[in-house]
Structure 1
């Protein structure tokens, strides 16, 4: 057990009984605002929560930072001082927030740094203890030197980080394990030293719990609507196949591109090539088919994040337009293809150039130097 002790500042109204009650009233008001929003767009919810947290805390900038499936992060909502550079829409690699830090946010959902330049205080422990004390459960512990430098590089002195948890792994829930998933973070930054008293931090945590529940409902609704849309589209497309008019899969609406989030799709039927969107050339499609028949001849369908990593010898000739592929074989010589482009061609990265698929090696950390956007 870790107990944080912090100065009780008599001049701070939030520390009085009246102030603590007022903090809870503000939290309830914020939650009511979140719950009053129309459903169907989680970004509306994110836009509202950054405004409410900024009202509660007074930080110069508050952002919602969402983790994507490949673990990189994106700023999806922001409320800030008018003179500050916007970060909304910027993406950052997964290495900016290492896996160890993400694990800790699932255990300790609030983290405050009052002054990243403050000199750390040495921890004095009982000499009888054989191992150093573990302070990961502390909300107020000093930041790692790397993180302090990271904050300084973005012009921030103080911060408040709040974990956003949603329902995650159902298998873990069945086995009695923690099924909550770290969806993202709500992060407040300030350009000068800033202390948020405990009652307000507790109010923010209360808002985060409500935000997580509301967000979870939005994500479930979006998933259900997507499933219904896919099933409806799938029924129409299957009807085209049954009526022996497969070319309608690419020439009519809905098309096979409506089934899968992709940049291009193609039908190869009876020796003819029907492209839609961003696809390889017909010659390259022939090469892909020959490779599939030779190395994946027993499969009726497969997907790959990267044709290069999957071993397709002509992958380098595809350029940046085509990277990932899914394929379904409905006869021995008839194929449906879906293609995705390289991620780095589609999104705006924040800071120094890197490879978006770089993973956290767990051995070292390096602070980001630049937060400027580039494509």
Structure 2
């Protein structure tokens, strides 16, 4: 059996595969890491059953990765009648046609492409989704596949220097809405606000040390491990008996802990209900996580940031804010640019993680802050208790 992954994007997709190196001979380290981890989770031997990664940044007119390009504007262009594929989209389609994989049972499209688009202050979630839907139709047609056998897996928009907060949030919202559409068949492959972003190409400024345009080797490995979990879950039906995925009952933690409710228990304090994804609970908090990095409540022009977090149980956090929580607010974790670090400081290890090392997250539209009811019970338990 063969399962394929088509990787598309710009320079950070390249660094994702080369593990934060400018260039290298042979098979890139990131390819080996992602391939071997997915094969391990599925119980594939790499010979009779294998995962194949498909990518290209060197063949003119047939690249799947091209640095410094926006999806909207360089790959796709809006017209009065919809969307028109441009040079780089045509190159992607050429690559697919020139490199058929008829033996593959499924071909996942790994989307690692948000950086330049996140700087476009005029981009909306609806516009982005419309373009992606057109892209998916073109890609699946070129593959000769339908949505079932060619799922889209999105790397949620990463923290990119110079990004517009509202646009970054809009891209994440678009990804999540497409992932919620069964007919489109997509998932969020990885969330990664806990990045160092410390690599620079020749000619780029070597400062700051952290929070640059590009990922480090450690960043790339972190994302690869998260993507591997999502790919394994996507292909759970093909897991071999005795594989880690089969032994886990056909699903492993890949989404990470999601905040599903935020209850105001004091003017400056929220109690959060968290749904774990097949994880036993939270890992101990780092100093940065305990200090509330990343949390904010926003209402119109008003916002307040957190300054302390406590774990109350495997599904409950308490978050204290530096001021009064604004009325009608929405809770966010890593809003917009959202890198979980102070300026010019590392981000790795700064998130709140579950026992499997996956970071907590809030939906891109935010979690409404409610008052007067504390949700109790376990994920899937609909009971409410006044508190």
TM-score by length of 1: 0.27
TM-score by length of 2: 0.26
Larger radius of gyration: 1
